[in-house]
Structure 1
Amino acid sequence: MTSLDTVTAWVANYRRAWESNDPRHIGDLFAEDAAYFTEPYAKPWVGRQAIVEQWLRIKDEPGTTTFEWHPVIVTEELAIIEAKTIYPDDTYSNLWLLRLDNSGQARQFTEWYMKHPA
């Protein structure tokens, strides 16, 4: 069941994983059979191990981003999150679709991102 509290905890843990690139932190976010869509129509990374491997392949360096977010909607099945990621040279608007299982791990995560104009 998804609630604002579980979504808030999940996003905090996502940010911790983003800042640490620790495989355990990354893996703890996702169910064993989770699907991570890096774009809405891209082939997803499927399975916890594949998600960890792909994350680490394209990781950001710790301390290089600032991140702000707020929930757009949270239902029992789905959370939609609007966010902004600030890199030293670029800023992105993000929209996330998050489906959590009963343990608070993501079953499905889809992200959209749009680079702000210079």
Structure 2
Amino acid sequence: MIKVIHVEDDDDIRELVGLSLDVAGDLELMSFASGSEAIQAVEVFGPDLVLLDMMMPNISGIDTLKATKQIEGYAEISAIFVTARVDGNQNEAFLDAGALEVIVKPFDPIELGSEIK
């Protein structure tokens, strides 16, 4: 089982990702509307992967990832950004922050689980 923390401020997208990953199987998901909530859950849930939106109120996806990597034992946590905001410089910033991949919104909900695995 791959444990995934998903951070997305849009309720509809958060629900769609949840349904998509549930169908994919082999993925245990915890979803949060904010980076702050997700960071607090890291040590309790013990995720293998953080799935992040970029643009969120209060704390961005990149800052959420940086804060997660500061938690003992999570410096090398895998991360994937799911965002509508993608250009050459932004994509580079995601990868520099430690992301493995960037999935562009709108995404194919049927393929999302496979892409993450």
Bigger share in helix:
2
Q: Bigger radius of gyration, 1 or 2?
A: 1
Bigger share in strand:
1
- TM-score, length-normalised on structure 2? 0.31
- TM-score, length-normalised on structure 1? 0.31
